[in-house]
Amino acid sequence: MSHDHYSPEILASLAAVEQRISYRFKDITLLATALTHSSWANEHGLQHNERLEYLGDAVLELNISHEIYLRYPEQREGAMTRMRSRLVSEERLAEIAHDLDLGASLLMGKGEEAQGGRQRAALLADAVEALLGAVYLDGGHDEARAVVARLYETIWPSCLLPDKEKDYKTKLQEATQALLGTLPVYVQLDSRGPAHAKEFSIRLELSNGQQFLASGGSIKKAEQAAARMALDGLQAGTAAEPAFHGHPCTRTHFTS
């Protein structure tokens, strides 16, 4: 399939994904297919990403299993299996997709998009697997392993924790339900910077009038930063006084 099947906007979006994963495709249609949801494929008569997802699932499991084997020679099979399960879970892959802002580059039908498809965890996780399958077909095992290593480079330190500590968003949700009887609201404001190093801004709103502004290298990081600020405010006993707070979140992104 030639580039003529894709608009300049789609090609620019694909190039941005290449920058974020630090890999340039020889065959860009493999990347396009990896990011093509069945709803968009059906509307345009093109191939969707389910076959690449199947392949990428195996690529991911093999490379994560290999890395666990090398990193943790003292671990027994059961512990290694549990570790791998956490690392390749839908939740983890969706987090990786959020960090890559992969949802913005997905090709999907209008109906699926209207139903929130770009934020759906299962769909995002599938796209990450399909992306790895595409890299494997385009560049071989070594390139796929390198991409997996880059995507997981900041994740390894926490993968041995038996029970993942509740994140700030979860803690804030529990606190606001108990203290205010409502849930926090996260509003995405804007994004700045080049495609491979975007900075996202988030406003967190509480029902008592407090607002917290934070930014980060992904929507998830910005939300976590805002939630942490809100927790600090609640714990300091300032929940009754409406206020607006701003705090930058350190930007992190994948590099080669």
190 included as an active-site residue: no
**How many angstroms separate the CA atoms of 79 and 1, rounded?**
44
Catalytic choice (57, 67, 112, 223): 57
- Asked if residues 83 and 75 have their Cβ atoms less than 8 Å apart, the reply is yes
Query: Are residues 37 and 117 in contact, defined by beta-carbon separation less than 8 angstroms?
Result: yes
How many angstroms separate the most distant Cα atoms in the chain?
A: 61
> What are the residues whose beta carbons fall under 8 Å from the beta carbon of 58, sequence distance 6 or more?
none
Query: What's 215's DSSP letter?
Result: E
Is 57 catalytic? The answer is: yes
Nearest-angstrom CA–CA distance, 148 and 217? 19
- Neighbour-count burial of 244, counting CB atoms closer than 10 A to its CB (0-12 exposed, 13-18 middle, 19+ buried): exposed
Query: Are residues 177 and 206 in contact, defined by beta-carbon separation less than 8 angstroms?
Result: no
Give the pairing of strands 211-216 and 244-248.
parallel
Looking at residue 156, the DSSP 8-state letter turns out to be: G
What element of type H or E holds 212? strand 211-216
Marked catalytic residue, from 129, 138, 199, 223: 129
- Distance CA(46)–CA(37), nearest Å, equals 10
Neighbours of 74 (CB within 10 A): 5
Q: Which residues are known to be catalytic?
A: 57, 129
